[in-house]
Structure 1
């Protein structure tokens, strides 16, 4: 077969789902059976669950960014950019490259794994003054920002400014928010010992969530254990509370409290990538409604998975959807690759079924809570399970070696408090990292694909 007649498989997104799909396609398809293209702004796979440890300096950014080009057998074509629209009728994906060039990429089969973005609400000042915890750049930036607040507070002669710089607010009592607050609190607790002019009692961390419990998926006992660990460290937890408005130097809670702070970290959940809205297809809470085989009903050659797809959870039944977790994304990636190949070869597609293996929450140091296979663990056993799970899930031996080395070095030598230079004079906030305004409307997608109409 020549290049022109080979089927074109386009994979959108290089997260857990997208990368696993591409790797499976490469292993199971012969080079002349299909062409595989991957759309991603960065040529690496980010191990998202360990981002809080990058923010706290336990891990280096490079250790959780696994290069997509390490394999010498890698033959997938990578388009450095982000998909901003899909025309299902014309079978064209519109891509904005990292140089802001807009190109049309035709396909025969498309796998949509664009992931998710931080969920925000119409709260005054939120996107202008909050940080997220969704990208590698955000994690590295937050670390610099937190350490810079200690530096600036130490140098300040104004007690009001000093107090505001030493208060930190994290919104979101899920895994990301809880681990972020826990890891960064440990960082500031260790760092303040190097600032003799600062009163450690001035450093205050606030973790707030509108829900009545932290991490309800863990159950009452483990959730209470995690809450007790954080409170024992001095983190003030406020449940049933959210943000009413955010400013550059203070945050107002919905219960009326005003907290002077220069640091607002927003981790209150995620929503599907805005790319899904450009398809004009049926959605479930913003996620693309797909069949249990992860194909889009009524469309030929369209598959979706991961955070942006509402995949039926057949293991749970009762209309449940698979949660947006790494373990589901990894397995869905491999499964959807098999179904793409089956579709390509005219074979029967198989439904996706996976029973959840449990949950792990690393609170830093020797503190953790885990629930592997329904078994509740706390302390060192939970920490061993949490780090063991994350370590085993890393894709390459190089990444595993880097992460293990970082953990050992941190355990032996402690934290370091070096700012790396991400903290520039021009502040960057949540809206500057995720490019959520880059997507086209369905009408703009059609206009881009079909070209301007003749006058």
Structure 2
């Protein structure tokens, strides 16, 4: 364990600390529920995350599609965690035996140790990728707000640039958009982007809708395992009715030059074509930071926990250690989770697990009874662009919805699930305005080089040499 290089503020050093590793769904709600109670008891809640906000990931497709303002899909830690100590950085190691963690500041400063009394692992998940040639260079995920904004601008930029291209092959590649992964994230991403692209083309007379090509690549024989087989088939028909190509039992094999596909049944070639935009939405995996801890992990790399969300290994419960969300293998007591008996890694479970964890952690301080996490899945909702969607709602029985009603259910559920009233108001207000003003297809350029214009002005091009006098 490294020695302390950068001490914390003196007034906080001796206060019993609840260290929350990660500021996503679980981290935000644990801190919201505990910050006042812990402070009144003489302690402090500390959240460590490299970002100063929590991202509501179900909204990323709508951010990419221009239906939600990017800042409205995130929740500021500083604004809403008034009684929480916030550290912008990454926890790189945890020594629970000595109740210490190593934090690497986000600004690249020297790592330092931070002591704690309780630790909550809430580091979430990262995009799961495979060693496919060219994927790291050409692909982009849809797991962060930055990726969603970049995708929106890239799609709009490609349409605009293609409209003045004279090389037919370059133009075709620019107007080809590929999404790998047929789960909720991939389906919502490709439909929102297709909807936005359709509007952008209507506004640009130099591009015809027939030139736009969207391709969905899914390795399994069906899409969206969260909905019924009948609904999944309807979704495929819906996508194809919009001109979206759906390639099932197909996998991406190479992305270095042209995209090369293979048939999963016999590993035979399934075609190749050029595409300037490759979106990877083929699943997630637990944050690998948990491998730098002394906590027990299960085969998929998640922390092992009991139904009450305490971390436990073969030798029993580990005191003062908790975990929830995508980074934890939480037993699903309803019996309807993953094949290994754990909860599906989604926002619905993470939000509810966080509230149970906060109650149990506080109860453990006073030797009060703790409760197991048990939540019946309310169903699944997905939006496919304006007034289009699919929903599978479990209330008084299973209710299947398609089209506008499903889209309304999608927006209603996520509008309520968005953390904090202030963010709900901004999101819902934006939706209301879009009913009259439509989807925003304004392209923002040069976000990766914001100083370009200033540098050009500050470093004017040299004047051409004066003609020598005769």
TM-score (norm 2): 0.86
Residue 264 of structure 1 aligns to a residue in which SS?
strand
1:381 aligns with 2:400: no
- What corresponds to 1:362 in structure 2? 383
The Cα shift of 1:367 comes to 0.7
2: CA distance between counterparts of 1:33 and 1:375? 48
Aligned to 1:290: 305
Per-residue CA deviation, residues 31-57 of structure 1 (Å, 9 max, x unaligned), is 234211001122222111010000011
Q: Is 1:83 the equivalent of 2:91?
A: yes
Pick 1 or 2: higher relative contact order, CA cutoff 8 A, min separation 6.
Answer: 1
- Which residue of the partner structure matches residue 276 of structure 2? 262
Match for residue 421 of structure 2 among 397, 400, 425: 397
Is 1:308 aligned to residue 308 of structure 2?
no
The 1:7–1:209 alpha-carbon spacing in structure 2 relative to 1, beyond 3 Å, is same
Matches within 5 A, 1:215-226: 215-226=224-235
The offset of 1:424, in angstroms, is 3.6
- Of 216, 231, 239, which residue of structure 1 is paired with 2:240? 231
Higher-Rg member (1/2): 2
Corresponding position of 2:364: 343
Of 198, 202, 207, the residue aligned with 1:198 is 207
Map 1:315-330 → 2, pairs under 5 A: 315-316=334-335, 320-330=341-351
* Further displaced range: 298-307 or 402-411: 402-411
In 2, the alpha carbon distance for the partners of 1:43 and 1:423 equals 19
Cα 1:94/1:5, change in 2 over 3 Å: closer
**Contact 1:284 / 1:310 at 8 angstroms: preserved in 2?**
no
* Post-superposition offset of 1:408: 2.4
Deviations 1:81-120 (A, max 9, x none): 1222222222222222111122211111100000100000
Partner SS state of residue 364, structure 1: coil
Q: Residue 97 of structure 1 corresponds to which residue in structure 2?
A: 105
Judging changes above 3 Å, is the alpha-carbon distance between structure 1 residues 82 and 178 closer, same or farther for their aligned structure 2 residues?
Answer: same
Partner deviation per Cα, 1:246-298 (whole Å, 9 max, x = no partner): 12x52111142112101000000000001111125222411111111111114
Which one is further off, 407-416 or 226-235?
407-416
Residues 180 and 330 of structure 1: CA distance in aligned 2, closer, same or farther (over 3 Å) = same
Question: CA 1:170–1:350 in 2, change beyond 3 Å: closer, same or farther?
Answer: same
- Taking the aligned partners of 1:195 and 1:370, their CA distance within structure 2 comes to 34
Aligned match of 1:407:
431
Change (3 A) 1:158 1:107: same
Cα drift, residue 4 of structure 1: 6.0
Aligned match of 1:436: none
**Structure 2: distance between partners of 1:345 and 1:173:** 46
Judged with a 3 Å threshold, the aligned counterparts in structure 2 of structure 1 residues 360 and 85 are, in CA distance, closer, same or farther, namely: same
Partner SS, residue 155 of structure 2 = helix
Any conservation in 1 of the 2:175–2:213 contact (CA below 8 Å)? Answer: yes
Range moving further from structure 2, 362-371 or 62-71: 62-71
Cα-to-partner distance string for 1:378-434 (whole Å, 9 max, x where unaligned): 1122111110000011222321222122222323222332222355479xxxxxxxx
1:244-259 to 2 correspondence within 5 Å?
244-247=253-256, 250-255=258-263, 256=269, 257-259=271-273
Work out the CA distance in 2 between the residues paired with 1:421 and 1:82.
30
Counterpart Cα distance in 2 of 1:262 and 1:44:
31
| Count of residue pairs the alignment pairs up | 423
Aligned to 1:187, what secondary structure does the other structure show? helix
SS in structure 1 of the partner of residue 47 of structure 2: strand
Counterparts of 1:422 and 1:299, CA distance in 2: 49
What is the Cα deviation at residue 350 of structure 1? 2.4
Is the 8 Å Cα contact of residues 313 and 319 (structure 1) preserved in structure 2? no
Q: Return 5+ residue gaps in structure 1 as ranges.
A: 427-455
Task: State the shift of 1:3 in Å.
Answer: 6.1
1: distance between equivalents of 2:235 and 2:380? 13
Matches within 5 A, 1:55-74: 55-71=64-80, 74=82
Give the alignment of 1:10-159 within 5 angstroms: 10-71=19-80, 74-101=82-109, 102-159=111-168
For 1:408-423, what aligned pairs fall within 5 Å after superposition?
408-421=432-445
The ranges of structure 1 where at least 4 consecutive aligned residues each deviate by more than 4 angstroms after the TM superposition are 2-5
What is the match of residue 353 of structure 1? 374
Change (3 A) 1:396 1:349: closer
Contact 1:144 1:422 in 2 (8 A): no
How far, CA to CA, are the matches of 1:103 and 1:264 in structure 2? 39
Q: What do you get for the CA RMSD once the two structures are aligned?
A: 1.9
Query: Among residues 173, 184, 195, which one is paired with 1:164 in the alignment?
Result: 173
Identify which of 164, 180, 187 aligns with 1:178: 187
